[in-house]
Amino acid sequence: MKPKNHIFNHPTLQTLQQKCNNLNNLKQIHAQIVTTGLSLQTYCLSHLINISSKFNLTYAFTIFNHIPNPSIFLYNTLISSLVNQNNENKIHLAFSLYNKILTHKNLQPNSFTFPSLFKACCSNPSWFQYGLLLHTHVLKFLKPPFDLFVQGSLLNFYAKYGKLCLCRYLFDQIDQPDLATWNIILGAYANSFDDNVFPLEALCLFCDMQVAKVTANEVTIVALVSACSSLGALSHGFWVHCFVLRNKVMVNRFVGTALVDMYSKCGCLNLACQVFDRMFERDRDTFCYNAMIAGFAIHGYGNRAVELYRKMKSKGLVPDDATFVVTMFACSHAGLVEEGLEIFKSMKEVHGVEPKLEHYGCLIDLLGRAGRLKEAENWLQDMPMKPNAVIWRSLLGAARLHGNLDMGEVALRKLIELEPETSGNYVLLSNMYASVARWNDVKRVRMLMKHHGVNKLPGFSLVEINGAMHEFLTGDKTHPFSKEIYLKITEINRRLQEYGHNARTSEVLFDVEEEDKEGVLSYHSERLAIAFALIASPSSFAIRIIKNLRVCGDCHAFTKLISAVYGRDIIVRDRNRFHHFKDGSCSCLDYW
């Protein structure tokens, strides 16, 4: 039998390789490899490139460049270590290596090549186009079924750029998603803040995950907790916290920070503090302190926020952009003007951090709220970048608060320039005129609104939906806190208006084709349509959903369940067919 020329079979190399962490060691190993003739072997060099790329990339490249025909393994090794350096130039290099693979006549990218490249595409929007291109290459070079790493990195790529429907479509095609894949899709839904329905879907998906018997880990929990946080769903968040305790999930820095954030945003400062205090000291990093300081800030405890900010610095933690934002936010809402000013000045003088737009925003808000309007205006004029709408709005707010009409008018003019369609801007000024009984001016502002074609949308409040709602959305009948679930009614109103909700006949026309802007359909559109309809017209007899295209996935089970739980008839028109759901069963009628 032929002896294997395995690097681990070579005693000297083995020992050297294990403790190799500097250039000298590396050179020794390299020399050994050359003298023993092992340098003709891809396997051995791959190891060497892998080791050296971790602390000396130049050396790794030198080795690589001396290899006459590097194998795809070597390319993959180098590409992944370049991507993991997290640096624009390195990513450029990674893509040029990828180009070399493509132009090489004997090489083809494989399933190990794509995951790191998709990861690279997430780091900067300018790489988005490359990601799309890579997707076409996946289809060109790989044979389905694609492996979970490729699919996962693809999902993550689309999720990062907000292509949620597409993401779901791809997810639904994955045969047996593993833990990381579930975590990607959960995280994608949990972090879609522009639509409250998506975090809710994350909770639904978690149930599907449990049905699939995939065991949750810390990453899963973080996604769930942040979903609850953006929903304002305290009881669900608490349930997740209980899940953590019951299932012995680690409260690591990520989980801890997510819990602190969730409890803060859901109005439970007490619990936020408890979680924070019980975390391991080593886990309390800058992120974690930021979340806790933000918690104090939201609840109006300016002094406690500043105190914690000082404590954080005394622990040797380095404040970042967000630290300054949340601490100054706390100061401005608690009237701690001097403290806030001091922190702003210390950014540059003590921490060597150049204030960004949002920091100027905090500063102007701080001074404005305290009535120091002239100073606020001066800062606004002197700031090194162009003030955005947020800053002008905070000046407008301050002007209104302190009755400075002239400044309010200036700010409004700027605001209308920047965002002519936001009704709130007009309303602020109109209210300001109204407060000093300048009714002609009030009229003028209203006319201006009309002129710009702006309508005031109705205000919103939180709606409580009962436990059954939760139950059929999540399939979780054992949920101890299924009494309440919150959704913003604005969103529902907006959609209902868009889709022609008719209060008298209690029908909801929900055009699925319109809903999926990606051109890919997923069944959650229909689930959501039904949920909207129920929330919006709790006493209606029937719900009618109209779909123009076939929907992927099985909605029927879900719809049957709703018809049973709510005792309602649901009629779904699917192109040329009617589905009639009643008492948990479905009958289908062709309608021509």
Judged by CB under 7 A, the chain residues 201 through 260 that form the site for DNA are: 217-220, 222-223, 226, 229, 252-255, 257-258
At 588, which helix (H) or strand (E)?
strand 585-590
Q: How far is CA 21 from CA 51, 325, 541, in A?
A: 8, 39, 72
Applying CB under 7 A, among 25, 28, 36, 41 the residue interacting with DNA is 41
**326 lies in the site for DNA, by CB under 7 A:** yes
Alpha-carbon span 74 to 60, nearest angstrom: 10
Alpha-carbon span 282 to 287, nearest angstrom: 12
Comparison of 167 and 291: residue with beta carbon closer to DNA: 291
**484 lies in the site for DNA, by CB under 7 A:** no
**60 lies in the site for DNA, by CB under 7 A:** no
**322 lies in the site for DNA, by CB under 7 A:** yes
Comparison of 153 and 196: residue with beta carbon closer to DNA: 153
Smallest distance from the beta carbon of 229 to DNA, in angstroms?
7
**179 lies in the site for DNA, by CB under 7 A:** yes
Comparison of 218 and 409: residue with beta carbon closer to DNA: 218
**537 lies in the site for DNA, by CB under 7 A:** no
Q: How far is CA 423 from CA 426, 440, 446, 454, 496, in A?
A: 6, 19, 10, 6, 20
Comparison of 77 and 506: residue with beta carbon closer to DNA: 77
Smallest distance from the beta carbon of 463 to DNA, in angstroms?
22
**187 lies in the site for DNA, by CB under 7 A:** yes
Q: How many residues bind DNA (CB under 7 A)?
A: 74
Alpha-carbon span 431 to 451, nearest angstrom: 18
Which segment (176-184, 343-351, 418-426, 505-513) binds DNA by CB under 7 A?
176-184
Of 454, 450, 452, 469, nearest to 532 (Cα)? 469
Alpha-carbon span 206 to 544, nearest angstrom: 28
Could you tell me the two tokens for 381?
A: 């004029």
Return the residue matching tokens 């978690």.
206
Could you tell me the two tokens for 90?
A: 């390195």
Comparison of 122 and 586: residue with beta carbon closer to DNA: 122
Q: What is the DSSP string of 390-449?
A: HHHHHHHHHHHHTT-HHHHHHHHHHHHHH-TT-HHHHHHHHHHHHHTT-HHHHHHHHHHH
Applying CB under 7 A, among 26, 197, 325, 341 the residue interacting with DNA is 325
Smallest distance from the beta carbon of 133 to DNA, in angstroms?
18
Smallest distance from the beta carbon of 290 to DNA, in angstroms?
3
Applying CB under 7 A, among 27, 28, 36, 73 the residue interacting with DNA is 73
Residues of span 341-380 touching DNA by CB under 7 A: 358
Could you tell me the two tokens for 264?
A: 């803060």
Tell me the CA end-to-end span of the chain in Å, nearest whole number. Answer: 76
Q: Phi, psi at residue 447, to the nearest 5°?
A: -65, -40
Which segment (14-22, 35-43, 533-541, 563-571) binds DNA by CB under 7 A?
35-43
**491 lies in the site for DNA, by CB under 7 A:** no
Of 160, 158, 208, 162, nearest to 182 (Cα)? 208
Comparison of 36 and 286: residue with beta carbon closer to DNA: 286
Site string for DNA, 114-153 (x = CB under 7 A): -xx-xx--x------------------------xxxxxxx
At 545, which helix (H) or strand (E)?
strand 542-547
**Packing angle of the helix pair 556-566, 524-536 (nearest 10 deg):** 20
Smallest distance from the beta carbon of 221 to DNA, in angstroms?
7
Comparison of 50 and 56: residue with beta carbon closer to DNA: 50
Based on its alpha-carbon atoms, the radius of gyration of the chain, rounded to whole angstroms, reads: 29
Tally helices (H) and strands (E) across the chain.
31, 6
Comparison of 346 and 493: residue with beta carbon closer to DNA: 346
Applying CB under 7 A, among 52, 76, 430, 474 the residue interacting with DNA is 76
Smallest distance from the beta carbon of 356 to DNA, in angstroms?
7
Q: Give the other-Cβ count within 10 Å of 192's Cβ.
A: 20
Applying CB under 7 A, among 30, 135, 241, 265 the residue interacting with DNA is 265
Could you tell me the two tokens for 270?
A: 């007490």
**180 lies in the site for DNA, by CB under 7 A:** yes
Site string for DNA, 267-306 (x = CB under 7 A): ------------------xxxx-xx--x------------
Which segment (14-22, 106-114, 419-427, 491-499) binds DNA by CB under 7 A?
106-114
**32 lies in the site for DNA, by CB under 7 A:** no
Which segment (40-48, 89-97, 422-430, 458-466) binds DNA by CB under 7 A?
40-48
Alpha-carbon span 424 to 62, nearest angstrom: 60
